[in-house]
Structures are given as C-alpha cells and as structure tokens.
Amino acid sequence: VIDAIADVLRSPHNASSIHASGRAAKSLLEQSRRTIAAHLGCFPAELIFTSCGTEANNMALKGVAAGSIAVTATEHSSVLQCVPAAYKIPVDANGVLKMDALEQWLQHTTAPALVSVMLANNETGVIQPIAEIATLVHRYGGWLHCDAVQAYGKIPVDIGLLRADMISISAHKIGGGQGAGALFIANHLPCAPLLHGGGQEQNRRAGTENLAAIVGFAYATDLTLGMMGQWQANLRRWLNTLEDIACATFPDDNIVFGKDAPRLPNTSLLRIPTLPSETQLIHCDLNHIAASAGSACSSGRITHSHVVEAMLGTGQGGDVLRISGGWHTTQEDIAAVSALWQKLAQKHKHLNQ
C-alpha cells in the first residue's frame, strides 16, 4: 500500500487535466473505482470518493431530500452529530436495533423516510441485520443508509445482499492510509452534493480527488478482502477465550457487551467493575498494549459511552475497555492482555487483604 501511494506521490497529477499525465491519473482513479465497486458489488458510477467515512456519512444524510430521518441510538458521532434532531431508534441490551420501534416510527412519520443504521458498531462490534432492516424501510417507501466503515474488510459488505441504498466506507480502517473514503449511492437515489465547485465525481463531490489515498484505498481493498476469512476466525476465537478469562478472573458482575449478538471478529468491549478502565488503560500502555476506553474517535478523552448507555440505560456508560485487533494481531498479543489482567487481579486482591 505504501509503495502504491508513494508511486502516485512521486508523479502527482490531477485527474481532471486533459494532458497525457492527467489522463494517466484519471485512468488510475477509474481503475481504483472499478476495484472497490467490484468488491462491493455495485456499478463504478455509483461510487463517489470522499475524504473519509465522516464525509460519506454527512453526504448521505444531508444530500437526500427526506421527509424525516431516523438513526440508531448507537451510531457513530459522524451520524449522530450530523442529524441531531433525527429520531433515535432504540436498541436491545445486546445492542441490536429494535425492529418494532423502527416500524412504529415508519408508520407515523413524514414520507419519504431516510433511515441510517450502521453495519457494525465501532465500540462493541455488534452487527445489525441490515437486509431485514432494508426490507422494512423499503416496504414503507423509505431509503436506507448504512455506515459500513467499521465492517468493511472484516466481514463481507455485499450491496446485493445488504440492499441498502447508500453505504459509507473508509480507507484507513483497512490499512489504506488516511484521506480517502467512499459513498455508494444507488442509481435510483437523488443525492445532492455536500461540496460545490468543480465537476469532479460526476458533479457529485467537488474538489480535486486525493489520488494517492484513493489508489492506496483500492490496493488495500484488494489485499484485505483477499485475506478475508484467513485471520478473522482465529481472532474471534482468541477474543472469546479472552472474554472467558476476564469472566473467570473477575467473577463478580463483569460484562461482555453484545455477547449474545453477532459481532465483528476483531472487537470485544468489556466492563470489569473492580478494575476502573483508567487503571487498565494505564497498565495496558505501560505494557505496550494499545487498548481504548470505548471509541477512539473521541481520543484523548475518556467519556461515557453513548453506545453502552443505549444498551443498558443512562449512567451505565462508564468504565469500559475495548480490545480490538486485525490481520496483524497474534495469539501472543491477546495472551498479553489476559496476563495483565491476572497480574492486576493479584494486586487488587493483595490491596484488599
């Protein structure tokens, strides 16, 4: 990926120029679009490159002329902050959207409805039944946007199966480098641009494309999706074992969030009441384990998790620890976390004696 990006940066050209090197840049841009579109199962013309997943989410939610908007209560801040007045669809204790609440809202709302539901949650890894939700939303004449930023590269994101009308993805979640995202917009759906100016991206997103980041995105897509299924199964097994060890080491009242729902292969969110997450984070850091308390997008701040609050109720969102890994995570990395917990449990016992 680094080489693919560096090659473009060594001879930077604008894909909108009509001279030979501009045409070469355009050809790279369109090849990248075809690569990602083929993996998603859409037409290349249905894919708009953006600067990141946040922009793709904003474009989807602000560009469609909807009569009313609903989003899941556990969405990423780039959805929640974008449409703060939207109806928040509640989730159950496992973090799965409550279908009856969505249907009730669809029955009484101003058409056409726009509904935004993430494929997988960034804090818990919980996967939503997108195809089922799409069927319901379409039955009421609405449109479904799906934030697949966290899921892309970890589980299949197939537009034909998911049947969402818009889907957001982001390059840096799959090792593609920062600075590129994309929004799939189905041919039938009118979506106005967020950025106005030149005619790039079929007049749907003005601004010179970040060609190096886009080429890296396509390259990473090929690599990551080519490895699909090779690391995922092992990692989920190791994380399940880690969760079991947490429960055995701290038997009093610990919580594994979303345990009974389908989850991404790479994410575990836990709460161990006897060990504040701040203590765990400090010890993780000292032991070169890069864990986080909830969402890394609010980095630098340890805030209450709105995701956990949506699942368990107000006031419940504190003291969570998220362990996540990827294709590069080894069994030893995961074992290092359980060794750390065992050490902390000993210390804790000692202090309480």
Integer Cα distance of 203 and 48 in angstroms: 10
Report which residue's Cβ sits closest to ligand PLP: 53
- Minimum CB–partner distance for residue 140 and ligand PLP (Å): 25
Nearest one of 61, 65, 104 to 86, comparing CA atoms: 61
| Strands, sheet with 68-72, edge to edge from the N-terminal-most edge strand | 47-50, 181-185, 166-170, 143-147, 113-116, 68-72, 87-89
- Minimum CB–partner distance for residue 335 and ligand PLP (Å): 26
Nearer to ligand PLP (CB atom), residue 36 or residue 272: 36
- Minimum CB–partner distance for residue 173 and ligand PLP (Å): 7
Angle ∠(313,120,65) on CA atoms, nearest 5: 90
Nearer to ligand PLP (CB atom), residue 181 or residue 193: 181
Q: What is the DSSP string of 15-41?
A: TT--SHHHHHHHHHHHHHHHHHHHHHT
DSSP H or E stretch at residue 283: helix 277-286
Nearer to ligand PLP (CB atom), residue 183 or residue 246: 183
* Phi, psi for residue 89 in degrees, rounded to 5: -75, 125
For CA atoms 30, 20, 15, 212, give the dihedral sign.
positive
- Which residues lie near ligand PLP (CB under 6 A)? 52-54, 57, 76, 78, 118, 122, 147, 149-150, 170, 172, 181, 297
Does residue 191 carry a catalytic annotation? no
Q: Are 121 and 307 in contact (CB under 8 A)?
A: yes
Q: Are 260 and 94 in contact (CB under 8 A)?
A: yes
Q: How many residues does the chain have?
A: 353
Nearer to ligand PLP (CB atom), residue 52 or residue 255: 52
- Minimum CB–partner distance for residue 180 and ligand PLP (Å): 8
- Minimum CB–partner distance for residue 53 and ligand PLP (Å): 3
Choosing from 42, 82, 247, 297, which is the catalytic residue? 297
Count CB atoms within 10 A of the CB of residue 226.
9
Nearer to ligand PLP (CB atom), residue 300 or residue 315: 300
Which residues are known to be catalytic?
A: 297
